[in-house]
Amino acid sequence: PVSDADMALRGASAPASPATARDEDIEFRVAVITPYYREPLAMLRQCHESVRAPRHIEVVHFLVSDGHPQDGIDGWKARHVTLPVAHGDNGNTPRAVGSLLAAAEGFDFIAYLDADNWYHPGHLESLVELHETSGADVCCAQRTYHRADGSALPLTERSEDSGQHVDTSGLLLCAKTKPALDFLSGQFQSKTVGKTYHALVAVLPHILVVPRSVPANSVKELIALAKAAPKKYTYASAGIGSPIH
């Protein structure tokens, strides 16, 4: 459902740090995922400062760099994730990585906010309330459009007005339900190869060494030898569960 509250995106925000609720007051935990590429630090700060925590909601802002990290973010009260290379997919890979991290850490909800957007005050609270009253697993809001100085632009988008399109920054997913996870999987699916995006998060060099007595000069030849005589060759690794194993 689309919230009919006057809460949307790209609205002006006061330059204050995000609030933090006390542990005993927290009813829900919300992860806000922001992918960024080469946006200037001032724009990222405006985005971050609009992510506010209401009294009963803990909000953690994940800023995920797509290959070009901003060191200044490390001092903010936020989770800064850096990917080693850019993916050129309009932020889908960093969104997916942030979403997986949030789901693994047991957040109740996952929301999104593009680096050049910012939330109106009360935005997250209105969507959580919408979930509580409707029971919907995926809640959303419409956008408002503003100039860089915060002044409003008299613009709307026809597909949004008709309910046919929702911008990613208007989404709130109930992270622990299958419909939301199915939606998440489809939202970040590659339209070119039909597979879910995977992000490069680490590079681990491996070295394969064989004795001179083994008649193989390449990995391909070694595999062929092992297949031809399955019980003849053994190997040593760092152990079960290691990358080599």
Residue 9, pLDDT above cutoff 50: no
| DSSP assignment letter at 74 | G
Confidence band (pLDDT; 50, 70, 90) for 68?
very high
Q: Quick one: pLDDT at residue 3?
A: 32
Helix or strand holding residue 123 (H, E)? helix 123-134
Q: What average pLDDT score do residues 164-176 get?
A: 87
Sign of CA dihedral 6, 7, 10, 12: positive
Split at pLDDT 50, 70, 90, the class of 149 is confident
Digit-coded pLDDT (tens) for 118-138? 999 999 999 999 999 998 888
Position 86 confidence tier, pLDDT thresholds 50, 70, 90: very high
Task: Please write the tens of the pLDDT for every residue from 176-204.
Answer: 776 666 666 665 554 444 444 445 556 66
Q: In the numeric block, which tokens belong to residue 132?
A: 């509580």
82 exposed, middle or buried (CB, 10 Å; 0-12, 13-18, 19+)? Answer: middle
List the 109-112 sheet strands across, edge first. Answer: 79-83, 57-66, 28-36, 109-112, 171-174, 138-140
Question: E strands, 141-196, where?
Answer: 171-174
Residue-wise burial string across 30-53, b where 16 or more C-beta atoms lie within 10 A, e elsewhere: bbbbbbbeebeeeebebbbbbbbb
> What's the chain's average pLDDT?
81
* Tens digits of residue pLDDT in 31-64: 999 999 999 999 999 999 999 887 789 999 999 9
Residue-level pLDDT at 109: 94
8 Å CB contact between 81 and 187: no
Taking CA 143 as the corner, what is the angle to CA 141 and CA 145, rounded to the nearest 5 degrees? 170
| Mean pLDDT of the region 148-174 | 87
